[in-house]
Structure 1
Amino acid sequence: MYYAIISEDVEGSLPLRAESRPAHIERLKQLKDEGRLLVAGPHPALDTPEPGDAGFTGSLVVAEFDSLASAQDWADADPYVDAGVYQKVTVKPFKAVLP
């Protein structure tokens, strides 16, 4: 089943993101290589794909896991969590309907 991992950044997270981004992206690439990643990306703080110094307000990952517990475990091990990027992470079951 798919699960949505919805993360909210702490204020001023851009330097923390930059520092831990390579490890964060590597985990996402692994999900993609396993055919389990539906979509992933950040929420820009401004209404533009490149928000510059304004940074990001959070992230969304939708991926396939065996259970809610395994999705939560994966989310808890995110390098952005260890780096203090996220102030809150919510994991929910997700049903893909369209397209």
Structure 2
Amino acid sequence: MYYAILSEDVADSLTLRQSARPAHIQRLEDLKNEGRLLVAGPHPALDTEEPNDAGFTGSLVIAEFDSLEAAELWADADPYVAAGVYQKVTVKPFRAVLP
């Protein structure tokens, strides 16, 4: 089943994000290579593709896991969590309907 992992950043998280980004991206690449990643990406702080110094307000990952508990464990192990980027992480079941 798919699970949506919705994360909210702490204020001024850009520097924290940059330091943990390579490890964060590698985990997403691993999900993609396993055929389990539906979509992943950040929420820009500004209404633009490249918010520059404004940074991001959070992230969304939708991926396949065996259970809610497995998705929560994966989310808890995110390098952004360890780096203090996220102030809140919510994991919910997700059902893809369209397209």
Q: Given the two structures, how large is their TM-score scaled by the length of structure 2?
A: 1.00
Shift of 1:40: 0.1
Shift of 1:81: 0.1
2:24 alignment counterpart = 24
Aligned-residue CA RMSD in angstroms? 0.1
In the TM superposition, 1:6-85 aligns within 5 A as 6-85=6-85
CA distance in 2, matches of 1:71, 1:12: 27
Q: Deviations over 1:18-48 (max 9, x none)?
A: 0000000000000000000000000000000
Identity of aligned residues (%): 80
Specify the SS of the correspondent of 1:66: coil
Q: Deviations over 1:38-64 (max 9, x none)?
A: 000000000001001000000000000
CA distance in 2, matches of 1:59, 1:74: 14
CA distance in 2, matches of 1:19, 1:73: 22
Give the counterpart letter for 1:41 in structure 2: G
Q: Given the two structures, how large is their TM-score scaled by the length of structure 1?
A: 1.00
Equivalenced residue count is 99
CA distance in 1, matches of 2:49, 2:95: 26
Shift of 1:71: 0.1
User: Mind listing any 5+ residue stretches in structure 2 that lack a counterpart?
Assistant: none
Q: Could you list the runs of 4 or more consecutive aligned residues of structure 1 that deviate by over 3 angstroms after TM superposition?
A: none
CA distance in 2, matches of 1:98, 1:8: 25
Shift of 1:66: 0.0
